[in-house]
A and B are shown apart, each in its own frame.
Chain A
Amino acid sequence: MSNEESKVLQIISNFPNLDGRIRQIAPKRIFTDPLESGEFHQLVSYIHDEMGFFRAHHAVGVDDGENLGFIYIFSDEDNTILAAKQTVPKENPEIESLNKLYPSLLLHELELADLFGAVISGLPDVPHYPLPDGWPEGSYPMRKEWKPEYFNKETMTYEPPEEVQKNG
C-alpha cells in the first residue's frame, strides 16, 4: 500500500461519510469530491491537527454552474498534496475562513471574495485584493457568466445586455 493510500484510509476510517469521495488520483496527490461546509471543515481540522498537513499552498475558485467550488490545497512533511474541495450554491456562497488555522491563505481567500463573490466570515479587516477600489458591486469577474466585453473600464461599470442577464 502506498503512503498516499494509507492516508486516504486513515481519513476514511475517521470520516466514513467520505468513503468513495476521497481518493489518490496520482502519486503524491489526494483529491476529495466537492464537500458540504460541515464535512469540509471537520476534514480540514483533522488533517491539520492529526495528520501533519501544516502547509496550505493555495485556495482555488472554480465555477461549477449552479455551484461555486473552492479547492484548498494542503501538504504535509512527505510533500503529499491533499486538495479538499468545498461546494456552495452560487446564490448563497457563504464560507468560513481558514485564515486562523492557516495564515498563508489570507490573500487566496481575499481573491475568492473579490473574483468569485464568496462571502467569507472570519477574514480580518484588510484592503481589497485584487480588484481596484470602485469595482462595481456584485460583479465577479471569474464567474463564467461574467464577460469582459460588457465591462467599461472608463466608467467602471458592468452592463451586460438584458438577454444575457436573464440567460447567464
Chain B
Amino acid sequence: MADDNKVIIPIGPQHPSLDEPASFTVTLSGERVDNVVIGIGYNHRGLEKACESRTYVQDLYIVERVCGICSHSHTSAFCMGVEQLAGVTVPDRAEYIRAIVAELERLHSHLLWLGVAGHEIGFDTLFMYTWRDREKVLDLLAAIGGNRINYSVNTFGGVRRDLDESIFAKITATLNELEKQINYYLELAQTELTLKARLSGIGCLSKEDALKFGATGPVLRAAGVAQDIRTAEPYGAYKNFEVNVITHTAADVFGRTAVRILEMLESIRIIRHCIKEMPEGAILAKVPRRIPEGEVIVRMEAPRGENIHYIRSNGTDKPDRIRVRAPSEANWHGMQHMLKGEYLADVPISIAAIDPCYSCTDRAITVNSDGTRKVTDWQSIRKYGIDWYKKRGLDMADIRLERGV
C-alpha cells in the first residue's frame, strides 16, 4: 500500500500479459492508474560494444539480430550508413528488392501486432486469423532469403538475393489472398461495435503529447501527425514513387489499430508497384573493406516507426561507434504518459498498442539432459501440438490451415 487510498501493483518483469521482460510499477487510485514507473533494460545484450571489435561484415549479422521482427529494417539502416560513408551507389534493382522485403516485413509485423492486440482484449479468434495470415508472409520471406525472420537479404552495396519471375508470381498470388483478409479486418474494425468500443478512448496520447514525448510510427500517425520517413526523407526505392502516409485522428488504441491495418494495404500496393517497375541490372556494387573516416546519421521507416542508426568510422575495417535507436525506444516515453488515468484493465492493451518489440523464431532447439541437441522444425511442432490435444480428447488433425474466414 502506498498510502491510505493508493495501491502499488508491480507488473513484470515476468508476467502473463507481457511478452517481454519489462516491469511496470503501477500506483492505483481505486481502479485508475495514478502513476507508472517503467523499468526496462532486462535484456540488454551489449550489441553495440560487440560491433566495435568486429568487422563491418561481421557486424551486419549482429545488427540483423537487434530485433526479431524488424531484422531487415536494421540491416537496411546499417547498410545505407556504411554505403554513404564509403561513397557507394546501390544499383536500382537492389533498392527495389530492399523495398519489397521491407514492405513484407511491415506486413508480417503489423499482422503479428493485430494478433497480439486481439489476444490482449480476449478476441483470440482475431489472433488466430492474423497469425495464420502472417505465416503466408513468412513463407514468402523464407522463399526469398531462406529464413523466416533473419532473411539476410541486405549486404553492403546491395542485396544478396535476386528475385525472379517465379517468386514475383508467388508474391503476387499471396498478396491477392492477403488483401482480401486485410480488407476483412478493416471492415471488422469499422463495423464490429464490441471491438471498437473496447479499443476506443484508451491509451490516449494527444498530438501535442505525441510530439512532446517523441512518439514515432503508427503511434504518432494515429495522433494525426503525417510523419513517415519514407516521405519525409525518401531513401532507396522510395525516392521513385509516392507513399501514402496513413494517419488517424483518434489518438487512441483504436486509431493505432486503424493506421496499422491501412498501412498493410499500402504496403501491398507498394510491393505490387515495385514488382511492376522492377529495374533490370546488377544487384550489388563493390564496397571497400576499409571504410573511410566519417560519421553518418541514417533514418528509415521500420514497421514500428523511425529507426535511426549513428555510425562513426575510423578508416579501418571496424566501426568506431554504432548506435541504434530502435523505434520502440522512442515510444516508451509517451507510453508512460498515456497510462496515467487509465483503468488497470486497460493497461495490457495500452502497452501492447505501441507494439513494443520482442523476438520470435520458428525453430526451437531443445537440449536434452544427456547434452544432445534436437532441432524441431515447424511441421514437428505442429504435429506435437495436435498430438498433445489428441491425448486430451480433442482431435485437431482435420483442421485445414488454409481455410478462409
B contacts with A, residue count (CB < 8 A): 33
Within the assembled complex, what's the spacing in Å between the Cα atoms of A54 and B212? 8
**Is B383 at the interface (CB under 8 A from chain A)?**
no
Q: Are A57 and B44 closer than 8 Å at their CB atoms?
A: no
CA distance A53 to B333 in the complex (A): 19
Nearest residue (CB) in B for A151 is: B46
Given contacts A104-B330, A142-B49, A148-B49, contact A58 B323 (CB under 8 A): yes
Q: Quick check: B211 and A127 within 8 Å, CB to CB?
A: no
- Pairwise interchain contact B308-A127, C-beta atoms closer than 8 A: no
Q: Does A131 contact B (CB under 8 A)?
A: yes
Task: Report whether A129 and B40 are in contact in the complex, using a CB–CB cutoff of 8 Å.
Answer: yes
- Tell whether, in the assembled complex, residue B297 and residue A104 are in contact, meaning their CB atoms are under 8 Å apart: no
Minimum C-beta distance from B154 to chain A (A): 21
Taking a contact as CB atoms under 8 Å apart, the answer to whether A54 and B49 are in contact is no
> Contact: B308 with A56, CB < 8 Å?
no
Query: Inside 8 A of A55's CB, which chain B residues have their CB?
Result: 211, 214
Secondary structure of the A contact surface, majority rule: mixed
Kindly state whether residue B121 has any CB partner on chain A within 8 Å: no
Point out the residues of chain B lying under 8 angstroms from A129, CB to CB.
39-41
Q: Pick out which of these stretches binds chain B: A3-11, A13-21, A25-33.
A: A25-33
- Chain A residues with Cβ under 8 A from B296's Cβ? 26
Q: Assess whether A83 is interfacial by the CB under 8 Å rule.
A: yes
Query: Is B41 in contact with A57, judged by CB distance below 8 angstroms?
Result: no
Q: Is A71 an interface residue, CB under 8 A from the partner? A: yes
Q: Which residues of A contact B332 (CB under 8 A)?
A: 107
Residues of A within 8 A of B323 (CB): 58, 60-61
Which B376-399 residues have C-beta < 8 A from chain A? none
Known A131-B41, A148-B46; judge A62-B325 contact (CB<8 A): no
Residues of B close to A107: CB separation below 8 A: 40, 329, 332-333
With A104-B214, A107-B333 as known contacts, state yes or no: A130 contacts B48, CB within 8 Å.
no
List A contacts of B37 (CB < 8 A). Answer: 126-127
Are B310 and A60 in touch, CB under 8 angstroms? yes
- Residues of the B chain whose Cβ atoms lie less than 8 Å from the Cβ of A146: 49
Min CB distance A65 to B, Å, is 11
Residues of B within 8 A of A29 (CB): 297
A109 shortest CB reach to chain B, Å:
12
Look across to chain A and name the residue whose beta carbon is closest to the beta carbon of B312. A62
Are B297 and A73 in touch, CB under 8 angstroms? Answer: yes
A81 interface residue per 8 A CB criterion: yes
Q: Does A103 contact B (CB under 8 A)?
A: yes
A141-B49 contact, Cβ under 8 Å, with A57-B330, A130-B40, A130-B44: yes
Which of B42, B312, B333 meets A104, CB within 8 Å?
B333
Closest 7 CB pairs of A and B: A104-B214, A130-B41, A130-B44, A60-B323, A79-B232, A58-B325, A129-B41
A-B contact pairs, 25 of them (CB 8 A): A29-B297, A54-B211, A55-B211, A55-B214, A57-B306, A57-B308, A57-B330, A62-B312, A62-B320, A73-B308, A79-B233, A81-B299, A102-B214, A103-B214, A104-B212, A104-B214, A104-B330, A104-B333, A107-B40, A126-B37, A127-B39, A130-B44, A141-B49, A144-B52, A146-B49
- Listed in ascending order, the chain B residues whose CB lies under 8 Å from chain A are 37, 39-42, 44, 46, 48-49, 52, 84, 211-214, 232-233, 295-297, 299, 306, 308, 310, 312, 320-321, 323, 325, 329-330, 332-333
Not counting A57-B306, A79-B232, A130-B41, a sample of 10 additional A-B residue pairs whose C-beta atoms are within 8 angstroms of each other reads A29-B297, A57-B308, A58-B308, A62-B321, A103-B212, A104-B213, A104-B330, A107-B332, A108-B325, A146-B49
